[in-house]
A and B are shown apart, each in its own frame.
Chain A
Amino acid sequence: MPRARRRVNGIDVFMWGLRVIVAAIALIGVVATLFTGRYSLSQWFDFAMFGLTLGSVYALIALGYTMVYGVLRMINFAHGDITMTGAFAGYFMASSMARNGYFESHPGFAMLAVFAVAMLACITIALLTERYAYRPFRHSLGQAPLICAIGVSFVLQQTVRGMFGSGVKSYPTLSWHDVVLEFGGVRVPVVNLFVMGCAIVAMVGLYWIVHRTRMGMAMRAVSEDKNAASLMGVDVDRVIVFAFTLGGAMAGVASVCYALIYQQVHFFMGFAPGIKAFGAAVLGGIGSIPGAMIGGMFLGLIEAMGPALFLDGLGIPAPYQLRDVIGFLVLLMVLIFRPQGLFGEAMAKRRA
């Protein structure tokens, strides 16, 4: 349908003004920063590297939001805290293996074990949440499931706090953790490559499952129309359980990746990445797998490079305090231009 011509009103003018102002500030900041030449090219590369690594973790968590949203049309706000439980499970596995030296003698196998334990923990918690907190509300009207998800988030946080204390725990370090590869003057820590690799493999795997398997087809059918899918013989409950399993598995991978880079676990650690990953999922177009991936990477990049790129040149003191402001401002700007998110259009059109 061709877009109807509308009359320009005050709000349009304001929105355009806002876009122009933000774009102008960003542009002036970038030019000023590059002009002062405080950072070398290799430092910019480092920033991009850190940003993509953090973005990979956001992307992995965002995939969980997107999977569940795709089939249930529900935001699983407890997803960040499910990730946290995986990080704790992985921490206990890793620290016990670090104590008996297994971590150093069999690093590959130990890493696999940590991933397995973390994923298992996340999947278990995700399925329990689905069974006991979400399923009873599935057919209720209003925002009951959403509120319930927020409740689950508190329950998970406080349970872990009660069981393991409110202190910050340090993840054991691996011998390959600090290995840095050098390509023509550019330094790349192996652990960053590893995390990015995990994210890409996970995304490709998910994409394949959703688009090339029978279960994936069932998921897409449920996503289109739950009732019609059920009439065609699709077991909706099984599909939903499968979506939560996939989301939990992604949370498990994300939790280990997060712990590998930042080496801290504590009961509240899931909250901030959860919110950011949710932002990333919305940014990419919630429900879209490549969207979650791109959204996560984009948000990570903006957070790492934004303060230095936009604010340093403007002479704003302590720019790193404002990194979340920049991240969410970009999210806001994207949504103003494209309310459906970067990759949301295909789904929106299909459902129209």
Chain B
Amino acid sequence: MDVSVRARNAALGAVLSGLLSTGAAVAQSNEIRVEPGAPIVVGGYWVLSGGDAALGNDQRRGVELAIKDFGGEILGHPIRFLAEDSQCSAEGGQTAATKLAANPAIVAVLGPSCSSEATAAAPILWKSGLVSIGTSATSPSLTAADRKPDYDGFLRVVFSDADQGPADAKWVFEALKAKNIVTIHDGSPYTQQLTSEMAKTFTGLGGKVASQEAVAPTDVDMRPVLAKIASEKPDAVYVPIFVPATAQILKQAKQTQGLENVPFIGGGGIMTPDIMDAAGDAVVGFYGAFPDVTPEAQGQDYPRLLQAYQDEYGEAPTSGFVANAYDGMTMLKLALEKAAKQEPDGALVIDKAALRDALFAVQFDGMSGPIACDANGQCSNFKPAIYRYENADRASFAIGTNPKKIYP
């Protein structure tokens, strides 16, 4: 048996009392006792199936590599790692979190990949006293200063999108020297927030946002909106939307009088080889504003991690977040070493509240760079970068070379 019967009974009691009186939800066990020789159980949830599976699998592997580097144990106890599939959706996150929260042996949870998962899952986990360490969920609201107490148990070792818009505005204003711009969003919350943040900072810097336009993600006829934009005579167009609409805008802008040579700046949605197929030659010269995920922007030890990944799985990582997942596991180990109390018989007693405080206090130089949390659980810095597409050959796609990193 993994865990003492006492802890399990306590948890069961907590669930029952929670059912009887909703106010008593906190009356459950705040301690986890790991008997001598029993494993420390770590939960995880990422998208492990479907179209975005590469993203989640990469992060699970990052955690596995970290565990391997620890020799498979923490404080003399073997690590047992349970990963759930949360499918990059709110429903998936909810299911995975409910399952993990029901396991009284789990000390903390790593993941997820997507912000929709984290938004649904983090409160469920925290209600059972479990801290979750986000590894690629980047939505600003998750670590915003005004986040709800439900999210007190969430922290993340990955950047927040909140810094993307302002960073883009600074680059467009200072490096591209554009003074008059137009923004385009596609009605989704992500692109809407991004363009409005960007516009706010750009105006604050002294630039002029001539108009803020919007298209539908499925629109194909962009000529009317481009004709309107051309009438504003912008120096640059900020369009952080997704592949199909971006491709139409790029192609039709080349045929719109007055926009033939105006630079277009996209966002994370177009950092994929699909844009090369969709836009063809019109993609050449297109800028992408996206965090710096090139190896040189990561921590000192990153090349070693890449090598270990290659040796273990026989391929290169498919996403830029392996290092973040590795750091999440390192962080948990360091916090456990600080917060867990060794009993004379070799058993380990972990107080969940103490573990949370220890996680927020941990500081170290990780694979992805320096890790140190602020009071809202933001533990990683944003590293802005600008890329530019050099040619439309799909085979040449590699973030850093094509699209080529041109800043910093």
Whole-angstrom CA separation of A200 from B262 in the bound complex: 36
B211 / chain A contacts, CB cutoff of 8 Å: 317
Whole-angstrom CA separation of A30 from B8 in the bound complex: 71
A41 CB–B CB distance under 8 Å: no
Closest to A272 in B: B218
A176 CB–B CB distance under 8 Å: no
Complex contact A320–B224 (CB within 8 A): yes
Complex contact A168–B227 (CB within 8 A): no
Of the candidates A39, A46, A167, A264, which one forms a contact with B223 in the assembled complex, judged by CB atoms under 8 Å apart?
A46
Q: Which of A266-322 contact B (CB under 8 A)?
A: 266, 272, 303-305, 307-308, 312, 317-318, 320-321
Complex contact B231–A39 (CB within 8 A): yes
B24 / chain A contacts, CB cutoff of 8 Å: none
Complex contact B231–A38 (CB within 8 A): yes
A224 CB–B CB distance under 8 Å: no
Complex contact A50–B212 (CB within 8 A): no
B255 / chain A contacts, CB cutoff of 8 Å: 178, 189
Q: Mark B179-222, 1 if CB is under 8 A from A, else 0.
A: 00000010100000000000000000000000111111011110
Binds A, one of B100-108, B277-285, B290-298: B277-285
A262 CB–B CB distance under 8 Å: yes
A324 CB–B CB distance under 8 Å: yes
Whole-angstrom CA separation of A197 from B132 in the bound complex: 61
Q: Shortest distance in angstroms between B205's beta carbon and chain A's nearest beta carbon?
A: 22
A189 / chain B contacts, CB cutoff of 8 Å: 255
B80 CB–A CB distance under 8 Å: no
Whole-angstrom CA separation of A50 from B278 in the bound complex: 21
Whole-angstrom CA separation of A28 from B264 in the bound complex: 34
Whole-angstrom CA separation of A141 from B391 in the bound complex: 57
Complex contact A321–B216 (CB within 8 A): yes
- Decide yes or no: A170 and B231 within 8 Å by CB, A47-B224, A50-B224, A262-B248 being known contacts: no
B314 CB–A CB distance under 8 Å: no
Complex contact B244–A320 (CB within 8 A): no
Whole-angstrom CA separation of A253 from B66 in the bound complex: 57
Q: Shortest distance in angstroms between B402's beta carbon and chain A's nearest beta carbon?
A: 17
Q: Mark A43-68, 1 if CB is under 8 A from B, else 0.
A: 10011001000100000000000000
Complex contact A168–B244 (CB within 8 A): yes
A263 CB–B CB distance under 8 Å: yes
Q: Shortest distance in angstroms between B260's beta carbon and chain A's nearest beta carbon?
A: 11
A213 / chain B contacts, CB cutoff of 8 Å: none
Of the candidates A46, A262, A318, which one forms a contact with B220 in the assembled complex, judged by CB atoms under 8 Å apart?
A262
A304 / chain B contacts, CB cutoff of 8 Å: 221, 223-224
Of the candidates B187, B216, B220, which one forms a contact with A264 in the assembled complex, judged by CB atoms under 8 Å apart?
B220
Complex contact B277–A46 (CB within 8 A): no
Complex contact B277–A167 (CB within 8 A): yes
Q: Shortest distance in angstroms between B132's beta carbon and chain A's nearest beta carbon?
A: 30
B212 / chain A contacts, CB cutoff of 8 Å: 317-318
- Total chain A interface residues with beta-carbon distance under 8 A: 32
Complex contact B224–A264 (CB within 8 A): no
Q: Which of A163-179 contact B (CB under 8 A)?
A: 166-170, 173, 178
Q: Shortest distance in angstroms between A340's beta carbon and chain B's nearest beta carbon?
A: 29
Of the candidates A39, A167, A272, A312, which one forms a contact with B274 in the assembled complex, judged by CB atoms under 8 Å apart?
A167
Complex contact B214–A50 (CB within 8 A): no
A220 CB–B CB distance under 8 Å: no
B51 CB–A CB distance under 8 Å: yes
Closest to A46 in B: B227
Q: Shortest distance in angstroms between A73's beta carbon and chain B's nearest beta carbon?
A: 30
A173 / chain B contacts, CB cutoff of 8 Å: 280
A226 CB–B CB distance under 8 Å: no
Whole-angstrom CA separation of A266 from B218 in the bound complex: 11
B251 / chain A contacts, CB cutoff of 8 Å: 263
A303 / chain B contacts, CB cutoff of 8 Å: 221
- Total chain B interface residues with beta-carbon distance under 8 A: 30
A264 / chain B contacts, CB cutoff of 8 Å: 220, 244, 247-248, 278
B243 CB–A CB distance under 8 Å: yes
- Decide yes or no: A308 and B248 within 8 Å by CB, A318-B214, A321-B215 being known contacts: no
Complex contact B221–A50 (CB within 8 A): yes
- Decide yes or no: A170 and B247 within 8 Å by CB, A318-B213, A323-B216 being known contacts: yes
Whole-angstrom CA separation of A50 from B220 in the bound complex: 11
Closest to B281 in A: A173
- Decide yes or no: A308 and B228 within 8 Å by CB, A168-B277, A169-B278 being known contacts: yes
B225 CB–A CB distance under 8 Å: yes
Most buried by A among B219, B221, B247: B221
Most buried by B among A46, A262, A272: A262
Whole-angstrom CA separation of A39 from B247 in the bound complex: 25
Of the candidates B219, B223, B279, which one forms a contact with A50 in the assembled complex, judged by CB atoms under 8 Å apart?
B223
Q: Shortest distance in angstroms between B311's beta carbon and chain A's nearest beta carbon?
A: 31
Complex contact A166–B51 (CB within 8 A): yes
Closest to A300 in B: B221
Closest to A38 in B: B231
Q: Shortest distance in angstroms between A288's beta carbon and chain B's nearest beta carbon?
A: 26
A323 / chain B contacts, CB cutoff of 8 Å: 216, 219
Closest to B186 in A: A321
Whole-angstrom CA separation of A317 from B228 in the bound complex: 12
Complex contact B224–A170 (CB within 8 A): no
Closest to A305 in B: B224
- Decide yes or no: A320 and B213 within 8 Å by CB, A168-B277, A264-B244 being known contacts: yes
Q: Mark A3-45, 1 if CB is under 8 A from B, else 0.
A: 0000000000000000000000000000000000011000100
A50 / chain B contacts, CB cutoff of 8 Å: 221, 223-224
B219 / chain A contacts, CB cutoff of 8 Å: 320, 323
Whole-angstrom CA separation of A264 from B277 in the bound complex: 9
Most buried by B among A39, A43, A47, A263: A263
Of the candidates B185, B225, B244, which one forms a contact with A266 in the assembled complex, judged by CB atoms under 8 Å apart?
B244
Complex contact A168–B278 (CB within 8 A): yes
Q: Shortest distance in angstroms between A265's beta carbon and chain B's nearest beta carbon?
A: 10
Q: Shortest distance in angstroms between A86's beta carbon and chain B's nearest beta carbon?
A: 16
Whole-angstrom CA separation of A320 from B229 in the bound complex: 11
Q: Mark A249-269, 1 if CB is under 8 A from B, else 0.
A: 000000000000011101000
Closest to A306 in B: B224
A54 / chain B contacts, CB cutoff of 8 Å: 220-221
B214 / chain A contacts, CB cutoff of 8 Å: 317-318, 320-321
Closest to B274 in A: A167
Q: Shortest distance in angstroms between B368's beta carbon and chain A's nearest beta carbon?
A: 29
Taking A54-B221, A263-B280, A318-B212 as known contacts, 10 extra A-B pairs with beta carbons closer than 8 A to each other, sorted by chain A number, are A168-B277, A173-B280, A264-B278, A272-B218, A303-B221, A307-B225, A317-B211, A320-B225, A321-B214, A323-B216
Show 5 residue pairs from A and B whose CB-CB distance is below 8 angstroms, ordered by the A residue.
A39-B231, A47-B224, A266-B244, A308-B228, A324-B216
Top-7 shortest CB links A-B: A318-B214, A168-B278, A321-B214, A170-B280, A320-B225, A262-B220, A50-B223
Spell out A's residues near B (CB within 8 Å): 38-39, 43, 46-47, 50, 54, 166-170, 173, 178, 189, 262-264, 266, 272, 303-305, 307-308, 312, 317-318, 320-321, 323-324
